[in-house]
Amino acid sequence: MIRLCGVLQRIALSYLLVSLVEIFTKDVQDKDQSVGRFSIFRLYCWHWLMAACVLVVYLALLYGTYVPDWQFTIINKDSADYGKVFNVTCGVRAKLNPPCNAVGYIDRKVLGINHMYHHPAWRRSKACTQDSPFEGPLRKDAPSWCHAPFEPEGLLSSVSSILSTIIGVHFGHVIIHTKGHLARLKQWVTMGFALLIFGLTLHFTNAIPLNKQLYTLSYVCVTSGAAALVFSAIYALVDIWNLKYPFLPLAWIGMNAMLVYVMAAEGIFAGFINGWYYGDPHNTLPYWIKKHAFLGVWRSRKVSTILYVIFVEILFWGLVTGILHRFGIYWKL
């Protein structure tokens, strides 16, 4: 019943494969050589050959795998549907919809459906709940696949995530081989816009839609391109214009990323705080802050949620990690 996949497992897989390529091809790289805009791609041709192989394997399996009809049993004893068997009709290939995509099919066959994530994002879709885009009780007429598990960090989608790692390593190569702030920014901004435009084109032409759960090529391009532009902006502000102090909380979080991931992203700290309440389990400190300091002021669930994340989570953990940095305390593997 243990979930086998996760974010850290995906990071480990991508880091392992890309670092092996980096290590075993270091002898063919002249680290002292100053390279131009396109010669840097030639210098690290093995990285891009690996990216091409990964892309071919991913697209071939995603669009070439035949997905037959399948069924599953509700194993959650707290569910009103416990023990009920649901059937999902597929019998297709090259589909990216929730019930019949190759990503889910491969995970069900290799991992087993009991070892997959039981609260997938598609349960927040309009087809599944009236509270969409927020999580809520499933509709009575919800299709059978709304009840099914799905692994968002599964095997095939993790293969695609290797592309993101290769692109990120390329930005690091630019720092090594390109001297001067302007030259580096030209490389990053050019590639960032190219990836962003290419990914959006794939999406809006419906060639390969954006899909985080499947980690599609368009998702890789859009997120990598956007990250390149944000990184370039921060680089310009901090390294060129020397505006370091406003970004210190981000630096502190980066120094203690494992702590923030476990305590914040995995909800360990929030779970501890929510364990203290008065009268009713909903009367907790985070609930009171979110209701009175954000939702009660902005009258918008979406806006209040964004502001809550920025101020109560990001800024809070920036201050906590800043204090830990002051005392030289870091959580590392």
d(CA 247, CA 241): 12
Residues 132 and 252 in one domain: no
Confidence of residue 235 (pLDDT cuts 50, 70, 90): very high
- Which domain range does residue 221 map to? 179-241
Amino acid 298: pLDDT: 73
Residue 204 lies in a domain: yes
pLDDT in tens, 68-94: 999 999 888 877 888 899 999 999 999
Residue 332 lies in a domain: no
Amino acid 29: pLDDT: 59
Residues 138 and 193 in one domain: no
Confidence of residue 33 (pLDDT cuts 50, 70, 90): low
Residues 63 and 5 in one domain: yes
Residues 94 and 186 in one domain: no
Instruction: Read off the amino acid at residue 326.
Output: R
Residues 219 and 287 in one domain: no
Residues 160 and 78 in one domain: yes
β-pair partners for 85: 73
Residues 60 and 117 in one domain: yes
Amino acid 32: pLDDT: 46
The total of structural domains in the chain comes to 3
Residues 261 and 210 in one domain: no
Residues 154 and 26 in one domain: yes
Sign of CA dihedral 109, 115, 121, 127: positive
| 211 contacts 97 by C-beta, under 8 angstroms | no
Residues 28 and 108 in one domain: yes
Residues 201 and 184 in one domain: yes
pLDDT in tens, 266-321: 888 888 888 887 777 778 877 777 777 777 777 777 788 788 888 878 899 999 99
